Structure 1
């Protein structure tokens, strides 16, 4: 069944009931317009969302949630994203945002250290900044942070893989890129919990957004570890490459796979039985909450600090359940 797992770290982890109620209250209050000072001002407010990379269903789904909340509040919404998940491509976009000086910026930093200075330039221009998804090593001047409880997501992935493999055996971790706060936390949660459960993590490899590289990593790992029992990939890119490699090796379903994020292609592989479990983020909710925090900052209200949204664990059996549906991602806002 679909499960939400809170984490005990020092941040506000939102319960499932609070997420449902809070999202409904946010959209209702924004749409109502009057009473309680829900709108930051009578004048039009502008908000820009800069995602981590263009074309990723996770960020598209987050943008859909943010846009819905912004439009309900009468806020002008703009969405931008770099061609690659890198400061090289993201910095020019952020510098252009600093020059335009919108009232608020939601941003998923592509590097926890390198994006500090560009974001400070935005703050210096008078824009309220809310970090969404990824974060910074130093969040000075930002108004809030809304992200997935990624460490707990990694822990859940280890538990799922342990159950699928019988609680023992060699497993592989395919991560994204070093220095990315979200996937670093997923990887650490997975490794820590796997050790407690008796799984042997033979390696942590990095594939970025390169599906072919992920496939090559699995090819090589199967050669080095012919008894490999399972694989956890912290992104859907890694999962796609994993499935390709296992298919070529005639090892689909023999090697158990737990992926992260329920993008359309991931759901297709889950239905086919090529992936056994998906641990997914609630991308739309993160977008909605990001807008809520931005509006609070513009109204001068106290920040919620860091909000951690729990993951949803999805299997083929419960794919159509309401809980699972909350974790599904889209390729366009429709």
Structure 2
């Protein structure tokens, strides 16, 4: 994977719909079977999120190799309420394949089943379904392992301190963040001095996350650590601690978007777990093309993670995985 150029926070509001792959040649084999020029629909979890910008760049890279096109349609919020109508509109256009990050492990099953019933292939990327049997392939991070990595980093940062730790999660039913919490809670058991306060849900709201952290700081004077499973929660946690003028609490989050990088640079977040969305996008695109051309498909692919801190933020290994709408040069 090539080095990323990450953009300033102000440019992170660029719409994912601007990311459209070139190509579209109607390539056919001698026997008449199509070998390229496919119509790929990509439905990320939410618009204006550089994580999904990187996923889109990866899908584009895979699509370009087969002369296929990518149409990106993203919901305005990470919710099935916004995503399902977009999925239904995409199905009506009859693409060859839909690559989607389901915003709910159950609610997206029925509309995706309707897509496959019409002969449209489905590949899941980033998030998945409770019953993923309808998908040709699913590509996701190993979020349980990434959660354990977050716990190990927080325990390292806390050293010999004793106290309580809170997890701020998104909402129940999101497979990626549910798994992050599972891994984190398991990893936290390695230190008997730490009291695990469990998780509270922000329901994708920065304001709710901020309120949760403010209330926890007030009711738990021994609070020394916060684990945030996603960018919304980290932003809310940072705002709450800033308002409380509390520098005793160490935050470990999951955010390599430009604002998340700045949080590290400013010392407001001690570490961010950085996933590999570009790699996810490439793998999802490749498996989609394989499914369409009759090649062998790898049913499940998982990608890893690295941890970014102020000390290693400028290292090549971290820099190449920071999330961005700017695709690597061909």
Q: TM-score, normalised by structure 2?
A: 0.86
Q: How many residues align?
A: 300
Structure 2 equivalent of residue 160 of structure 1: 153
Change (3 A) 1:112 1:161: same
Q: For 2:196 and 2:269, locate their aligned partners in 1 and report how far apart those are by CA, in whole Å.
A: 19
Q: Match for 1:303 among 274, 297, 308? A: 297
Give the conservation status (yes or no) of the 8 Å contact 1:57–1:329: yes
Give the conservation status (yes or no) of the 8 Å contact 1:133–1:182: yes
Of stretches 164-173 and 324-333 in structure 1, the one that deviates more from structure 2 is 324-333
Structure 2 equivalent of residue 202 of structure 1: 197
Q: Does 1:229 align with 2:224?
A: yes
Where structure 2 has 5 or more consecutive residues not aligned to the other structure, the ranges are 3-22
Give the conservation status (yes or no) of the 8 Å contact 1:264–1:331: no
Give the conservation status (yes or no) of the 8 Å contact 1:109–1:134: yes
Shift of 1:203: 3.2
Give the conservation status (yes or no) of the 8 Å contact 1:132–1:286: yes
Structure 1 equivalent of residue 308 of structure 2: 314
Q: Match for 1:193 among 184, 187, 193? A: 187
Q: For 2:86 and 2:326, locate their aligned partners in 1 and report how far apart those are by CA, in whole Å.
A: 22
Q: Does 1:57 align with 2:63?
A: no
Shift of 1:113: 0.8
Shift of 1:196: 3.0
Of stretches 232-241 and 84-93 in structure 1, the one that deviates more from structure 2 is 84-93
Give the conservation status (yes or no) of the 8 Å contact 1:208–1:237: no
Give the conservation status (yes or no) of the 8 Å contact 2:209–2:237: yes
SS at match of 1:318: coil
Structure 1 equivalent of residue 246 of structure 2: 251
Q: Match for 1:325 among 307, 310, 319? A: 319
Structure 2 equivalent of residue 179 of structure 1: 173
Structure 2 equivalent of residue 214 of structure 1: 209
Runs of 4+ aligned residues of structure 1 deviating over 3 Å after TM superposition are 331-334
Shift of 1:250: 1.3
Q: For 1:312 and 1:218, locate their aligned partners in 2 and report how far apart those are by CA, in whole Å.
A: 26
For residues 248-289 of structure 1, give each alpha carbon's deviation from its aligned partner in whole angstroms, at most 9, with x where no partner exists. 11113x211101021100100101111111101111111111
SS at match of 2:190: helix
Structure 2 equivalent of residue 23 of structure 1: none
SS at match of 1:145: strand
